[in-house]
Structure 1
Amino acid sequence: MANQASDCSRRLLLSCCIICGGSLYVANVGDSRAVLGRLVKATGDVLAVQLSMEHNAAIESVRQELRSLHPDDSQIVVLKHNVWRVKGLIQVSRSIGDVYLKKPEYNREPLYSKFRLREPFKKPILSSEPSISVQQLQPEDQFVIFASDGLWEHLSNQEAVDIVQNHPRSGSARRLIKAALQEAARKREMRYSDLKKIDRGVRRHFHDDITVIVLFLDSNFAVHASSNKDFSLSLRGGGATVPPNSLALCAIPTELSNS
């Protein structure tokens, strides 16, 4: 019965992409984020370009969306312990999972009482519909960082891009996670080595879970992708060769790591 309860409250926050015809399509659910590193030829700098929109109640536009979808519910978003939460329970407004906030028949035992809503509801509170953005790839586009909110709580978009750009490609995802954990330790006025010694179950109180994928793009990809000639797409580390007019899934990561 306990397994059933945990399944009802299980959550997946996801960013994914498809490359097709020289365009990068990014779909996002929850508060994970996709950030592009783009080279500025005039200066040699690589600038961060955020590709995805997050669904977190901390964002005013998300709270407005929730209120417009639930005009009769004055408690659809609640400021609890100085954090905006949907129904006082959860920060994200969209996710894969959290079925107890989508289907009322799951808002009951054996789901743990701390997750359950006290009042019944007739329409889904959360959505599973992703936000989708389209970015035309340019030869200057270097890489894309996909990461859960645990990374972005401690690193800005530009800080993450700088870390990837200024180090060898190998180990990029692990390097980003280490930088985020070092910052989490600094905020707690403790050493990184001491933070790493804390049991994973307890460390959840010090930092959120972190998952990172870094996808490197060939510098000439955009040119080939927009032409009518045969081309191959190289995802370094993935070893993928893609025939013309086909889709290249970003499920083939260059670097994948999680804390």
Structure 2
Amino acid sequence: MFSWLGKTASSCLSPTGRYAPMSKDDEQGSGWEDDALLWSKDLEKHSHGEFSFAVVQANAVLEDQSQVETGRHATFVGVYDGHGGPEASRYISDHLFNHLIIISHRKDPGLAQENREMSEDILKSAFSETENGFLTLVRRAYAIRPVLAAIGSCCLVGVIWKRMLYVANLGDSRAVMGCLDRSNRIVAEQLTRDHNASMEEIRKELTNLHPEDSQIVVMKQGVWRIKGIIQVSRSIGDAYLKRPEFALDPSFPRFHLPEPIQRPVLRADPSIVTRRISGNDKFLIFASDGLWEFLTNQEAVEIVHNNQRAGIARRLLVTALERAGRIRQMPYHEIKKLDQGVRRHVHDDISIVVVFIDHDMLDGDEAAAPQLSVRGFVDAVGPSNFNFS
């Protein structure tokens, strides 16, 4: 799975997965090339433009999963930020996109593929099927591996379908659009809502939904947490905070609740934004919260706007790592020497996909764009079954 680790510096993965020499500019850059825990795709094509992809591992086991699926008329992006373990994010990566395809076919079984439509209902159903599937897996394994009930994942999905954009989110991964304003300056528009207890509106929402529970949100070690345990209010998984049958006993002190829950504490219904892509919309940044810990929305879009496309996701990632190092008084060349797990004390797993929108392709012939399925970090590239388009 990680067979690429330890390759020599001054090389990167080409679209075929082979190593290709870097440009002179990159060779003289920040020295990311010998970071064995950083993976990137400089630039690939999708139906409406190009995309750049980068991932870095910090945990002992990578808990982030990510994917891009390109079709003839549509593009799918998924960023899944796991917590407690990798099982939920891996499950989402293996199932959510497939549910989307199956449900879209089920909705319009008589239509030709090119006439099918995307909708918020299809997205919601795909999330629901994924949640139910993972909870079924937890139920089947609960007797022999109860800790699966404490594993969950944020889930951020974007679909570009012709001139429409659909973004669905659970948790605090974030999608940001880079747009030009009337003065032709690049500005950031956050498309997603952070479902995190650090946000006052989320704390109010939880308090209103659980008026009988004075401990629904509490401050613990300087951080607002739901039931004193978790920061995100929506996720796939985290079964012990959704169904009383998955309660964990005191042998799991981190996840044990003194009183059983009467109804779900966390939710799995995504926030969804739908918008028509305008001529001022230039690119999208999809990223797990590890990026936004160190970069503001505006800083991120300015970096993308002011630099060449090739390798831009990696540039964002390295910028975040350098800032993490400055906070911990540890330069990036020292961070790279840290092992998985130890590195988590400096930064989180981070996944970034930058999707450029080329407007001359929105109404054009997308047949030239390859139908690819790209999985972050594992360097799995193959044909996509994004055939509802």
CA apart distance, 1:112: 2.6
Aligned residue in 1 for 2:233: 93
TM-score, normalising length: structure 2 = 0.56
> 1:143 touches 1:216 (CA, 8 Å); kept in 2?
yes
1:50 equivalenced with 2:190 (yes/no): yes
Gaps of at least 5 residues in structure 1 are 225-230, 241-250
Structure-1 residue corresponding to 2:152 = 11
Task: Output one character per residue of 1:163-206: Cα deviation in whole Å (capped at 9) or x when no partner.
Answer: 22222212222221111111000011111111121112012122
Q: Which amino acid aligns with 2:222?
A: N
Larger mean CA deviation between 33-42 and 115-124 belongs to 33-42
Unmatched runs of 5 consecutive residues or more in structure 2? 1-140, 379-389
Shift in Å, 1:41: 6.1
Deviations 1:193-231 (A, max 9, x none): 111211120121222221111111112355x3xxxxxx4
Q: Which residue of 1 aligns with 2:223?
A: 83
Write the mapping of 1:13-162 to structure 2, written as runs, cut at 5 A.
13-20=154-161, 22-40=163-181, 42-43=183-184, 45-109=185-249, 112-162=252-302
Structure 2 CA distance for partners of 1:256 and 1:164, relative to 1, 3 Å: farther
Q: What's 2:65 paired with?
A: none
Q: Which residue of 2 aligns with 1:209?
A: 349
Structure having greater relative contact order (Cα 8 Å, sep ≥ 6)? 2
Contact map agreement 2:158 2:165 (CA 8 A) in 1: yes
Q: Tell me how many residue pairs correspond in the alignment.
A: 237
Contact kept? 1:173, 1:257, Cα under 8 Å: no
Contact 2:250 2:256 in 1 (8 A): no
What CA RMSD, in Å, does the superposition of the two structures yield over aligned residues? 2.6
- In the alignment, the residues of structure 2 paired with residue 234 and residue 169 of structure 1 have an alpha-carbon distance, to the nearest angstrom, of 22
Structure 1 residue ranges, 4+ long, deviating more than 4 angstroms after superposition? 255-258
Question: Deviation of residue 20 (structure 1)?
Answer: 3.4
Q: Is the 8 A contact 1:214 1:256 kept in 2?
A: no
Provide the TM-score with structure 1 as the length reference: 0.83
1:39 and 1:125, CA in 2 relative to 1: closer, same or farther beyond 3 A? same
1:132-174 CA distance string (max 9 Å, x none): 1122211221111000111000000111111222222122222
1:204 is paired with a residue whose SS is helix
Cα distance in 1 for partners of 2:332, 2:173 equals 24
Distance 1:71 1:172, change over 3 A: same
Q: Does the aligned pair in 2 maintain the 1:174–1:257 contact within 8 Å?
A: no
